[in-house]
Amino acid sequence: MDQATARDFVNSWVADWNAHDLDALLKHFDDNVVFRSPVAAQLLGGDGVIRGKEALRAYWAEGLRRIPDLRFEVLGSYVGVDCLVINYRNQKAGLVNEVLIFDGHLITEGYGTYLDEDPNPAGAR
């Protein structure tokens, strides 16, 4: 992934999240994606590992239901080999890195990572 492609992806990603447009977000994910996040564990129980695009949709839909004011501000993005890290601030001013692993144009793995020890880093109600 080059810088221009990454910049276009990040701009689309943040616009889609801020519009709460799950269909637009999910078009970038492989059907067999694996996504890991402590927020998934908080919202859904379990180990925080989401397997498959439909399970990811269900997780994010629950997140949006419980965080209706969800909003992101991108602070930076970092391009690697077949990966992208998006550093952003969420609606409660928490700092987050989303690590996305690509196979071609589709994301096959993702990781939500949080800076603080906040027991509710996403602000779920």
Task: Going residue by residue through the chain, which has 125 residues, state the pLDDT in tens, using 9 for 90 and above.
Answer: 899 999 999 999 999 999 999 999 999 999 999 999 999 999 999 999 999 999 999 999 999 999 999 999 999 999 999 999 999 999 999 999 999 999 999 999 999 999 988 787 788 88
Predicted TM-score (pTM) of the model is 0.94
Q: Which of 109, 56, 60 is nearest to 83 (CA)?
A: 109
Query: According to the model, what pLDDT value does residue 116 have?
Result: 80
Look up residue 92 and give its two tokens. 């409660």
Look up residue 98 and give its two tokens. 């989303």
60: phi > 0 → left, psi -120 to 50 → alpha, else beta; which?
alpha
